[in-house]
Amino acid sequence: MGRQRPGKNPAHSADTGDAPSGGPVAGTYPVDTGTCELIPDQFNPHGWILKVNGVHSSHIDVADPRLLDFEYMRWIAALVDTHWEADAKLRALHLGGAACSMARYFAAGFPNARQVVVELDGRLAELVRAWFDLPRAPLMRLRVGEAREVTETLHDDSRDLVIRDVFAGAKTPERLTTLEFTAQAARVLAPGGLYIINCGDTPDLRGARREAAAVSRVFAHTAVVADPAMLKGRRYGNMIIAGSDAPFAGHPSLPRTLLGGGVPAHLWDDAQVRAFAAGTRPLTDEEAS
């Protein structure tokens, strides 16, 4: 989920199911869940766009892992970068992998980090490993599995950061948005850890309110990052919702960082998030499809 770019470079297009070698090769490839398409970024000679079943899923700059093209990923990065020092021994869990853009970013910014990326589509994971120079174990492990099932197997207090960025088409599976799953994410977090979710929603913001309600119910402290149009319910887009058992640091550079980039974003504090979710019931496992 991210901003869309027009077109692709037809000179590099190929339609093949063969496993790539020696780096990224533009084309359409069969994967376990359907198809993925790798497209050269016509605005960046080092950039690649990954679409999964027709939906823009990831962008990678092969020369610079710290370059994040999707705005919502920049917002997640800003929250994390201002919460920990660069030498932190960060234990991160990424629910949803695609091209592993965020894991590459944190591997570059937090050299002592240990990360696990959970990706449902095993064939996609193989392709991404072949295309891109991803960090190797123990720095980063790419684990094939369903996000909730993997999370439920993890020990208490075993992660400092959990990022949920899982989509089936344009929607997050409901079983990953419920109150019960949010409690599972909180269980695996160590004290002071962050749970960060990428919530894609329509202008009515019904899903975002329910997700904010779940995070507010489980965590003592919350925050939201999104652009003003999204916050006012004027467009479809991405909202970042975060929860923690500790107050958000409120680093003075955070608002300034969020206002930079192509899509300036605002930061809501705990009171604003709870007001946004007021009167809304979190989705439960019993209701989820």
Q: Give me the CATH number covering residue 109.
A: 3.40.50.150
The pLDDT score that the predictor gives to residue 191 is 97
In this structure, are 157 and 34 located in the same domain? no
Number of domains in the chain: 2
The pLDDT score that the predictor gives to residue 262 is 83
Domain boundary among 41, 61, 81: 61
In this structure, are 177 and 38 located in the same domain? no
The pLDDT score that the predictor gives to residue 4 is 34
The per-residue pLDDT for range 150-208, each reduced to its tens digit, is 999 999 999 999 999 999 878 899 999 999 999 999 999 999 999 999 999 999 999 99
Distances (CA, A) of 184 to 180, 187, 205, 211: 6, 5, 24, 14
In this structure, are 97 and 138 located in the same domain? yes
The pLDDT score that the predictor gives to residue 2 is 41
Positions of the chain with pLDDT lower than 50, given as ranges: 1-17
Contact predicate 89/112, CB 8 Å = yes
Contact predicate 100/117, CB 8 Å = yes
Residue 218 corresponds to which tokens in the numbers above? Answer: 């489980």
Distances (CA, A) of 65 to 46, 68, 84, 103, 257: 11, 8, 19, 9, 18
In this structure, are 119 and 54 located in the same domain? no
Domain encompassing residue 273: 71-277
In this structure, are 52 and 182 located in the same domain? no
Strands ordered across the beta sheet of 114-119: 140-144, 114-119, 91-95, 159-164, 189-201, 237-244, 221-226, 266-268
Contact predicate 201/170, CB 8 Å = no
In this structure, are 89 and 47 located in the same domain? no
The pLDDT score that the predictor gives to residue 255 is 85
In a domain, 114, yes or no: yes
In a domain, 187, yes or no: yes
Domain boundary among 61, 79, 95: 61
In this structure, are 51 and 134 located in the same domain? no
The pLDDT score that the predictor gives to residue 250 is 64
The pLDDT score that the predictor gives to residue 10 is 30
Residue 71 corresponds to which tokens in the numbers above? Answer: 């705005």
In a domain, 287, yes or no: no
In a domain, 1, yes or no: no
In this structure, are 56 and 186 located in the same domain? no
